[in-house]
Chain A
Amino acid sequence: MQSKMKESDPILEVENLSASTDNLPILKGVSLTVYPGEIHAIMGRNGCGKSTLSKIIAGHPSYNITNGDIKFLGENINSLEPEERSQSGIFLGFQYPIEIPGVSNLEFLRVSTNARRKFLNKEELDTFDFEELVKEKLEIVKMDHAFLSRSVNQGFSGGEKKRNEILQMALLEPKIAILDETDSGLDIDALRIVASGIKKISNAQTGIILITHYQRLLDEIKPNYVHVMSDGQIIKTGESDLALELEEKGYEWTDNLIKEI
């Protein structure tokens, strides 16, 4: 199966990436390649650089790339603005989705969707057409229509915020989705909804990176690869059973791996 996938070109290539914020190095040479149809999981302790990696791929302005490259569909995107990355098909599901008071969720979703559609040379949707589209996508995350008339993420519960992220992913139809601890703070039912949503949205042409602490998400969505990060580096890569091993042995086991390196 793996060799078949690799006949196509990679979606994302992170090559020996080092990055810092306020002159503090966070990433210290990370390499990662995602092919179409692949699901990668990144695990590791808090503060190991997982979230930073996802933010840098999405173009967060607070981090400086000090070395290495990020390529998306073969093109170097190091200097692209976050909005350009999103429009071209990179999606970051936030660990802590941001509240934006006064901005209606519906309008936000519509503007965002249209920005992506414009990039794809698709017709932009007016309010009515968008209503139709969003109704269909709401099904995927089992969200109530009432969420749309509220301000973006404002007053949403943790689970509602995460479902709103997956709704955005469903609307934007990205080439690659990086989901940063999308499973944290979810109860079992919400986790199933989110996981089945992710599965519905992804296909043989898309790539997914799941950043997580827990096996339970990986029970729902089986990854092709599991990477373990520590101190800004990927210290071990394996198949899905690595996650099980990690769960069993804990991060102390990975600490010993670092010593071996």
Chain B
Amino acid sequence: MVNENLVKDVVKEPYKYGFVTDIETEKIEKGLNEDIIKLISQKKEEPKFLLDFRLKAFKKWQKMKEPNWAALGYKKIDYQDIIYYSAPKQKEKISSLDEVDPKLLETFDKLGIPLTEQKKLTNVAVDAVFDSVSIATTFREELAEHGVIFCSISEAVKNHADLIEKYLGTVVPASDNYFAALNSAVFSDGSFVYIPKGVTCPMDLSSYFRINSGDSGQFERTLIIAEESSSVSYLEGCTAPMFDTNTLHAAVVELIALDNASIKYSTVQNWYAGDEEGIGGIFNFVTKRGKCLGKRSKISWSQVETGSAITWKYPSCLLLGEESVGEFYSVALTNNLQQADTGTKMIHIGPKTKSTIVSKGISAGKSKNSYRGLVKMGTKATGSRNYSQCDSMLIGDQASANTFPYIKSQQPNSEIEHEASTCRISEDQLFYLQSRGIEFEEAVSMMVSGFCRDVFNQLPMEFAAEADKLLALKLEGSVG
């Protein structure tokens, strides 16, 4: 076919975040045991309650089995062959950005996340996490004026221990699942957000996670608390260098929304996905969950998952408060030999709760893309409603797509609606666009973004543009 040659001619842009920052790091020895956990806790000068939290989680983890129900196949992970703490060597106490190693600032610069006062993004506050530690958080003073706390979770442990003790592990308990237990035992850093009562956060908050070391795992922990009648929009971005080994990333994110509060959590995940033969790439096992604790509270997840060799991720909502709202908007794109098993859980507990699920899976190459979702109506969820729409798009004839919707209703007076579709980019559609002067690759990405439009509309503006570009980039050369 004519197109095949064209595809081969297209210069594939390599993963552009694949560089490694050459920086002296402090790493602890490989392996996992109680002493390692004590060492991590000690390095972070943690209070006793947190060490206990970790040790308890570790005990639970040891008794648990790695889950195997997902439609994923991968080499067994050797948990003793991972470094659980790796931090760039810096001065003991950093009081301002001027003292941050320029190499680190340069790294984030290259990633498009400038941190310095002169160059920092003007409309969004950033917490930059490098391997196991948070490097810098911008706009802290400005946010503090509004009573908003935005800092690394390590700092929050020191300065806001009461909040951490009150909320940590209340949405995702350590025993929740294998990877959550592991994270609870060894988490090193992540972001903490607290929005006080009645405050609308004056700017978007964002965390940027960068894995740099090839042999250490990243286990970040994020906790966001939105008090009564407050609201916040939070963005998360992730990249990693290209290594031919697999790096484990097991994060936990907990969101709590009280009465009339709303949290919007958006992710663009672009971890290194491995090469065309499936060598290397991040193993991304993430537990994200939000608790709509208050009346009329709202938690909205939107995600664009394009990276990682393996993605295992189900951002969920526990809808407890009366009339609370949960949303999940997802685009998951897999190419080459990537595998994704992703979706959501909407657990309707309170009455008149509402949830919306819109999932768009795109599989190209020889990849495997599964949607897995649970909608549950509890006995008290009277008058509750769910709407789910799960669409899959196949590109080429070697990719696969699955949809696994689970529905459990214990409440006859509730409504659950599920729609699903599968489509393929047809040669006729491509020819139509091409015959209007639109280049082959652009035609494909036009159709893919058209397919994802319902989700992109939910993303914050700059994110949506980035997501669009990212998809186009990821698909280069994938259609023949």
Question: Which A residues form the contact surface with B (CB < 8 A)?
Answer: 58-62, 81-83, 85-87, 92, 94, 97-98, 100-104, 107-108, 111-112, 115-116, 119, 151, 168, 172
Contact = CB atoms under 8 A, between A and B. Distances in A.
A-B CB proximity, top 7 nearest: A102-B450, A115-B437, A103-B450, A86-B437, A82-B434, A112-B436, A98-B432
B6 A98 contact: no
A108 B438 CA distance: 9
A102 B362 CA distance: 14
Contacts of B435: 58-60, 82-83, 85-86, 92
Given A59-B2, A62-B427, A83 B450 contact: no
B450 A111 contact: no
Contacts of B3: 61
Contacts of B436: 83, 86, 108, 112, 115, 168, 172
A59 B1 CA distance: 11
B15 interface: no
Interface string B51-70: 00000000000000000000
B431 A61 contact: yes
A8 to B, nearest CB: 25
A65 to B, nearest CB: 11
A172 B449 CA distance: 24
Contacts of B438: 83, 108, 111-112, 115
B8 interface: no
B446 interface: yes
Given A81-B434, A92-B435, 11 more contacts: A81-B6, A83-B437, A86-B437, A98-B426, A100-B433, A100-B446, A102-B451, A108-B438, A112-B436, A115-B436, A172-B436
Q: What class of interface size applies to chain B in its complex with A?
A: 20 to 34
A211 B475 CA distance: 37
Interface of B: 1-3, 6, 426-429, 431-440, 442, 446-447, 449-453
A58 B438 CA distance: 13
A107 B445 CA distance: 13
Contact of A102 (B2, B426, B449): B449
B447 A61 contact: no
Contacts of A94: 432
B336 to A, nearest CB: 24
Contacts of B426: 98
